[in-house]
Amino acid sequence: MSLIDVVNLTFSYDGSSDEIFSDVSFRIETDWKLGFCGRNGRGKTTFLMLLAGRYEYRGTINAGVNFEYFPFEITETWQSVAKIMEAIAPKAELWQVQKELNKLAVDESVFDRQFETLSNGERTKVMLAGLFLRENAFLLIDEPTNHLDMAARDAVARYLRDKPGFILVSHDRAFLDACVDHVLSINRADIEVQSGNFSSWFHNKKLRDGFELAENEKLKKEIKRLEDSAKRSADWADKVEKTKMGKGAEKARKKGHAGMDMMAYYGEKSRRLQQRRKNLERRQQSAVEEKSGLLKNLEKTDSLQIHQMKYHSNALLSFSNVSISYGGRKILSRINFSLEHGDRLAVMGSNGSGKSSILKLLRGEKIDHEGEVRVGSGLIISYVPQDASFLTGDLRKFSEEKDIDETLFKAILRKLDFKREQFEKDMGEFSAGQKKKALIAASLCQKAHVYIWDEPLNYVDILSRIQIEELIAAYKPTMVFVEHDRAFCTNAATKSIELKNNECF
């Protein structure tokens, strides 16, 4: 075990006045299985790049390990997996490579295949196995689950749980809980490290937020009370001061010795009242300072809305004995399901099982199939595609192309933690998570009968996922979606189908 010390880390991108990190300091241990959390755009990937030495920064990062970044860049994708593994981990023995791949449920037959023929999930597993075989390597794992189905996520989580230490960026709650023992979180105001998994961190966060909200309300009332008391004391002190300096003082002088005692009385009373006013003002200032220390890391997750239209029939769409072929090969047989108003259907299955093909058929795309696909006449569908990398240009033009209200669109993005400065940027500069949020926000703006979302949560931060779950629970829209986030499927779906061995269950 060794330490990674980050001291006064400061970084901003060239040409930007916004600092991603400002005098950040913390310490972590290399035998921690560290989950790295934070909302989109907070700098998680940037921080991993800084550790890996990709960018220049101010401050110091001291570590006794070699940082290795995942995903590993592979340029010669035409090479066999065996050659790729030799390049990634040249000192590893064959038996060691085989052992690592077996742990990840990867068949040894991949050795002879070209790397470019592997699925995204297989590529993820091969790269992880190779990087963990590097000597003195400490892995910086950046969102490995985006190309993994549920079974693959479970296999990778078991694999990581047995590793000595790493930093893992992921937005999958169940995945994090299964393999991390510490959490590093980028908050609104600071960075913190806690022992435990994601669920324990999130529980502690909710407790702290609840306590700070209660303290904030209590201090607001206390500040108001002190303001009123200080004002009354000031009024009393001013009246006594006028008595001491005005007609009261004149009467006291005429009464001689007795009058001097009266002047002393008024003077002492004025002094005490002035002191009371100062004490109240100090207490008020102290309360204000204490209040200002609260809620700095409170994440505001305003409620979202969806604009679903009522369809004239309860039955919206259905598949009856549908079989789908691709390249002349049947990939799915005997698919049967129906969707009625208020249903939220999760289409589940491994990568390549045909989930996206089902969504495409529902949207009217031409796909080789047999059986009956029924989509209600005049049914309006709002669609979120799996890939968001194509997004470029400004938000105004995008909203015009989508025929959605620009003001509403930006209001939803604000609720999804977009800063106003983001609205001036080209969408090509958005993070992957911000691009997916833009697609989701556009869908929420659209009036539709059915919402079809294809892996909408890739790269989207956990708090935004919870926002979307709460939206679905509140409005109960009719949906068909593909998603590998186990928690989201459990919380959002009312029914599901699983594609397995070319069949539907």
SS3 286: helix
**What is residue 31's predicted lDDT score, i.e. its pLDDT?**
94
Higher pLDDT, 179 or 187: 179
Report pLDDT digits (tens) over 308-349.
Answer: 999 999 999 999 999 998 877 888 888 999 999 999 999 999
**pLDDT level of residue 277 (50, 70, 90 thresholds):** low
**What is residue 291's predicted lDDT score, i.e. its pLDDT?**
47
Residue 289 above 60 pLDDT? no
**What is residue 33's predicted lDDT score, i.e. its pLDDT?**
97
SS3 295: coil
Residue 36 above 50 pLDDT? yes
Residue where the block lists tokens 């989109």: 40
**What is residue 269's predicted lDDT score, i.e. its pLDDT?**
56
Mean predicted lDDT score pLDDT of the chain = 86
Q: Provide the CA 431 distance to its chain's centre, in angstroms.
A: 12
**What is residue 334's predicted lDDT score, i.e. its pLDDT?**
87
First to last CA, the chain: 47
SS3 390: coil
Report pLDDT digits (tens) over 436-490.
Answer: 999 999 999 999 999 999 999 999 999 999 999 999 999 999 999 999 999 999 9
Report pLDDT digits (tens) over 103-131.
Answer: 999 988 888 999 999 888 899 999 999 99
**Least-confidence region, from 36-40, 137-141, 187-191, 298-302:** 298-302
Residue 386 above 80 pLDDT? yes
> With contact defined as beta carbons under 8 Å apart, do 131 and 72 qualify?
yes
> With contact defined as beta carbons under 8 Å apart, do 336 and 372 qualify?
no
**pLDDT level of residue 257 (50, 70, 90 thresholds):** very low
Dist. CA 124–CA 141, nearest whole Å: 10
43 C-beta neighbours (distance < 10 Å), count: 18
**What is residue 119's predicted lDDT score, i.e. its pLDDT?**
85
**What is residue 295's predicted lDDT score, i.e. its pLDDT?**
45
Higher pLDDT, 501 or 142: 142
Average pLDDT over residues 67-74: 92
Q: Provide the CA 266 distance to its chain's centre, in angstroms.
A: 64
Highest mean pLDDT among 14-28, 175-189, 228-242: 175-189
DSSP secondary structure string for all residues of 472-485: HHHH---EEEE---
- Helix 120-132 / helix 150-161 crossing angle, nearest 10 deg: 10
Helices (H), 5-108: 44-51, 81-88, 94-103
- Number of Cα atoms under 13 Å in the Cβ half of residue 83: 12
Distances from the Cα of 21 to the Cαs of 46, 58, 63, 297, in angstroms? 10, 10, 19, 15
Higher pLDDT, 282 or 143: 143
pTM > 0.85: no
DSSP secondary structure string for all residues of 396-463: HHHHHHHT--HHHHHHHHHHTT--GGGGGS-GGGS-HHHHHHHHHHHHHHS-BSEEEEESTTTT--HH
**What is residue 180's predicted lDDT score, i.e. its pLDDT?**
97
